[in-house]
Amino acid sequence: MDKEVFSLCFMCSVRCPIRVKVKDGHVDWIEGNQHVAGIEGSLCPRGSAGKSMLYDDQRVQSPLIRVGERGSGNWRKASWDEAIDYVATRIKEITDENGGHSLALCERTQLATHVSKTFLKALKSPNHFTHDALCKGSVNTACRSLFGYNDGQIGINYGNTKNIVLYGRNIFESIALKEVNGLMKALENGAKLTYIDPRVNITASKAHRYWMIRPGTDLALNYALIHTILKERLYDAEFVSKWVHGLSDLQEFVEEYTPEWAQKETGINADEIVGLARQISKDKPSVIFHYGYRGASHTNEIYMRRSILMLNALMGSVEAKGGIFFKKGPGEVGGKAARKLTAQEFPKIDVPRFDKVGTPDFPLPDPNHGVAQIFPHAVLNEDPYPIKGLIAYRMDPLMSIADTTQTRRALDKLELIVTIDINYSDIAWYSDVILPESTYLERTDCIQQMNGLKPQMYMREKAVEPRYDTMDGAMILKRIAQKLGIGDYFPYESMDELVDWQLEGTGFTREDFKKKGFVAYGADQIFWDKNNIPFKTPSGKIEFKSSLLENAGFESFPEYEPVPAPEAGKFRLVVGRSALHTHVSTQNVPYLNELESENVLWINTGKANELGIKDKDVVEVTSACGKGQIKAFVTDLIHPESVFMLHGYGHQAGRAKRSFNKGLSDALIQENVYDKIGGSPAYHDTFVSVTPL
Ligand SMILES: Nc1nc2c(c(=O)[nH]1)N[C@H]1C(S)=C(S)[C@@H](COP(=O)(O)OP(=O)(O)OC[C@H]3O[C@@H](n4cnc5c(=O)[nH]c(N)nc54)[C@H](O)[C@@H]3O)O[C@H]1N2
Ligand SMILES: Nc1nc2c(c(=O)[nH]1)N[C@H]1C(S)=C(S)[C@@H](COP(=O)(O)OP(=O)(O)OC[C@H]3O[C@@H](n4cnc5c(=O)[nH]c(N)nc54)[C@H](O)[C@@H]3O)O[C@H]1N2
Ligand code: SF4
Ligand SMILES: [Mo]
């Protein structure tokens, strides 16, 4: 029998709305949900490959318990009853002896995150941590320092923008579909795009203005832009005088950071910097300085992200059409959000988090996410206490935290590693137990609350029955919880019941999602009155002079520290994504692997000639913490100070045969250093030497 199901893609975390056509119990076709504005049927390459992932036999097919050494790949099949019993028994032993806090759970934030948070809270462990700090920890902190809202509560109105500046935000390859479609619409309507990156990528090729910046110096560029905007009074005076706290402090601070000074630091011509400031101010407030995710990734990340947000405030583009806006929830229109299990009462936890976030040692990162890259340090040093067990749920610390060798040493100290995954990821391969989750096409999931200009809810609905002996994540955790005697926190027997529980009191039912795949609380876009924006900072204003930073003992405007050039023969290693893969997840998916199966090292032609490296030669890349081999891509399209590779390659799980040992893992080479204020890792603060073999 044929049917069509509205659901949510999960080939990456963006979760675009999709329509799945099913024939005789098989997925026949996947396309974007045509009812959703900004999607209208479109899908990215990874979304289109969902079927290839579903019908791939090289994913985990049943629960597995390790029989050989960790990482040796010797497994025995187990039934769900046995696997759940085994995991619950081991968790009980560990937490009875060492306390609930000796168990940690890491996860890439997803729809069932409220379930895993509940699991840890019920066990009295504060040690839930997500991918967030690895991705944009300092962006989150910077947003809170200026607006009192985190980055997740802020959106970008691409479709109506007139002028946009992207700092290494490689939007046409590091994709979120709605953003791409929105920006394309704006470009068709005449918007101007400036792209800044030490590397010429697809986004650079679509820009009106491209600057090959010296890697790591975006902050210097921004100080010069701010200098020019203030000196020439190019800012939105009305907005700034109403909302900005600390303008005169900023003015005094940027006095010395002239465009001529920035030219020396960044390599960007001073006249061009002035030219951008003048041009973009003509389009205010419908302009965007994109605060990004990754791009620059350095120990001073917090100040770089703050400087971008300040540029938006100076242009008055905050809560403006074609600028950045605060996301509106159902409460704005008298509606109710879906319930979360975390709203229950839990036992009090009286120990700090493993990463000390929220204590004077690490006051500013977001405790809802924690700081993942501290995990290896905390385990190895037993600081603040010994951690004995880890559940890795849709996150791979081995490939996603810098310095894999160090992370593996930390994992070796653990008594229990359990992975909930769909693939033979590197962390699954290194675990004691693998609990396979059903893929997104085989499972119904928790409700997606989508706050934005128009608050909505979406639902992931099962399209086909699971092909293998797999289970939904929220059911796996519930069953372990039952064995541990904390089952009462999980008041459902199936995913449908959990969704019904979430929807209680919202006025919507599961049936309502069947028509279009989503429900909307109202029809109109909501912008707040610009004279009445409820900033959540202590002053109620946009805090250039930040009480969040200063109360914690940090400066709002620390002096700029010049970015060192690499020593002779060395390069700054920078990394990024490809349009064809998601992080470390999809390299083994047949269709995607066929299109791109290996990463290469971009190296500047002049530098390659000096080193005697020719295109496609295999080279060795060496840092202070690791080394590996990779093919060279010799090109003029990269700044001579940096070399670049795609993230996500160099997998070590033997049963994922297509991706096994293909290319090189950036995490093996990168040092685990980070922004000690904002929380982001400094992935781009590793210097490497490159030698021909
Ligand atoms: N296809 C695909 N799309 C994705 C993802 C995916 O895995 N695959 N992941 C999603 C996620 S979670 C994220 S966080 C986003 C990431 O999206 P982006 O923030 O766009 O990140 P990257 O792909 O990491 O691209 C980083 C770019 O920054 C450049 N860069 C390096 N150093 C500097 C510097 O000093 N200054 C400047 N200006 N640029 C620099 C690099 O050369 C690279 O081109 O993508 C999202 N979209
Ligand atoms: N070295 C280095 N580290 C990085 C980055 C980098 O550029 N370089 N980028 C950082 C960024 S921006 C981010 S966002 C993070 C992402 O970090 P991660 O979350 O670790 O990476 P992902 O590839 O998104 O997903 C991890 C795991 O989820 C599994 N998975 C996929 N779908 C499902 C599912 O439906 N259920 C379950 N249970 N598992 C599933 C995949 O098989 C994979 O093993 O990495 C960060 N870490
Ligand atoms: S951006 Fe692509 S992979 Fe990610 S959810 Fe959307 S369609 Fe799927
Ligand atoms: Mo990310």
Output DSSP code: residue 385. S
Separation of 47 CA from ligand 3 center, angstroms? Answer: 5
Hey, what are 45's tokens? 């390459």
Q: Which residues pair with 602 in a beta bridge?
A: 633, 644
Separation of 73 CA from ligand 1 center, angstroms? Answer: 33
Residue nearest atom 24 of ligand 1, based on CA coordinates: 576
- Backbone phi and psi for residue 574, each to the nearest 5 degrees, phi listed first: -120, 150
Separation of 576 CA from ligand 4 center, angstroms? Answer: 10
CB atoms within 10 A of CB 77: 12
Residue nearest atom 25 of ligand 1, based on CA coordinates: 576
Separation of 527 CA from ligand 2 center, angstroms? Answer: 34
Residue nearest atom 8 of ligand 1, based on CA coordinates: 582
- Separation between Cα atoms, residue 456 and residue 519, nearest integer Å: 6
Separation of 641 CA from ligand 4 center, angstroms? Answer: 25
Long-range contacts of 233-237 (CB under 8 A, 24+ apart): 234/277, 234/278, 234/281, 234/314, 235/281, 235/284, 235/314, 235/315, 235/316, 236/284, 236/285, 236/314, 236/315, 236/316
Distances (CA, A) of 617 to 59, 462, 658: 33, 46, 22
pLDDT tens-digit profile of 220-241?
999 999 999 999 999 999 999 9
Instruction: Give the closest ligand to the alpha carbon of residue 584.
Output: 2
Residue nearest atom 26 of ligand 1, based on CA coordinates: 295
DSSP characters over 574-635 = EEE--TT--TTTSTT-HHHHHH----EEEEEHHHHHHHT--TT-EEEEE-SS-EEEEEEEEE
- Separation between Cα atoms, residue 213 and residue 210, nearest integer Å: 9
Separation of 312 CA from ligand 2 center, angstroms? Answer: 30
Closest CA to 594 of 191, 63, 45, 129: 45
For residue 341, the number of C-alpha atoms closer than 13 Å in the C-beta half-sphere is: 27
Write down the residue that tokens 């066929």 correspond to. 594
Domain covering 73-134+355-451+467-506 in this structure, CATH number: 3.40.50.740
Three-class secondary structure of residue 545 per DSSP: coil
- Separation between Cα atoms, residue 31 and residue 349, nearest integer Å: 45
Q: 99: burial class by Cβ within 10 Å (0-12, 13-18, 19+)?
A: middle
Question: In testing the pocket of ligand 3, which one of 19, 36, 44, 578 has its CB within 8 Å of the most ligand atoms?
Answer: 44
Residues whose CB is less than 8 angstroms from the CB of residue 162 and which lie 6 or more positions away in sequence, other chains included: 186, 190, 191, 192, 283, 286, 287, 322
Q: How far apart are the first and last CA of the chain?
A: 58
- 309 alpha carbon, distance to own chain's centre: 19
pLDDT number for residue 296: 74
Vertex 344: Cα angle to 679 and 92 (nearest 5): 75
Residue nearest atom 7 of ligand 1, based on CA coordinates: 582
- Backbone phi and psi for residue 117, each to the nearest 5 degrees, phi listed first: -65, -40
Question: In testing the pocket of ligand 2, which one of 390, 400, 405 has its CB within 8 Å of the most ligand atoms?
Answer: 400
Handedness of CA 462, 467, 469, 473 (dihedral sign): negative
User: Check: CATH 3.30.750.24 for 570-692?
Assistant: no
Output DSSP code: residue 328. B
Question: In testing the pocket of ligand 3, which one of 43, 51, 448, 595 has its CB within 8 Å of the most ligand atoms?
Answer: 43
Residue nearest atom 30 of ligand 2, based on CA coordinates: 394
3-state class percentages of the chain: helix first, strand second, coil last, to nearest 5: 35, 20, 45
Nearest ligand 1 atom, CA 44: 1
Q: Is 135 in the pocket of ligand 1 (CB under 6 A)?
A: yes
Separation of 40 CA from ligand 3 center, angstroms? Answer: 13
| Domain layout of the chain by residue ranges | 73-134+355-451+467-506, 136-327, 570-692
Q: Is 639 in the pocket of ligand 1 (CB under 6 A)?
A: no
CB atoms within 10 A of CB 693: 8
Q: Is 574 in the pocket of ligand 1 (CB under 6 A)?
A: yes
Amino acid present at 349: I
* Ion ligand 4: residues, CB < 5 A: 135
Separation of 542 CA from ligand 4 center, angstroms? Answer: 26
Hey, what are 194's tokens? 């400036």
- Separation between Cα atoms, residue 264 and residue 259, nearest integer Å: 9
Task: Let me know if the fold of 73-134+355-451+467-506 is the same as that of 570-692.
Answer: no
Q: Is 167 in the pocket of ligand 1 (CB under 6 A)?
A: yes
Separation of 299 CA from ligand 2 center, angstroms? Answer: 22
Backbone angle region of 25, left / alpha / beta, with phi > 0 → left and psi within -120 to 50 → alpha: left
Instruction: Give the closest ligand to the alpha carbon of residue 436.
Output: 2
Separation of 373 CA from ligand 4 center, angstroms? Answer: 14
Three-class secondary structure of residue 644 per DSSP: strand
Q: Is 203 in the pocket of ligand 1 (CB under 6 A)?
A: no
CB atoms within 10 A of CB 135: 21
Q: How many residues does the chain have?
A: 693
pLDDT tens-digit profile of 474-529?
999 999 999 999 999 999 999 999 999 999 999 999 999 999 999 999 888 899 99
Distances (CA, A) of 684 to 63, 80, 144, 388: 37, 42, 24, 31
Which parts of the chain register pLDDT below 70?
A: none
Residues lining ligand 2, Cβ inside 6 A: 10, 108, 131, 134-135, 293-294, 393-396, 400, 402, 420-423, 425, 437, 439-440, 473, 575, 582-585, 647, 666-667, 670, 683
What CATH fold (topology level) applies to the domain 136-327?
Dimethylsulfoxide Reductase; domain 2 (3.40.228)
- Backbone phi and psi for residue 398, each to the nearest 5 degrees, phi listed first: -65, -35
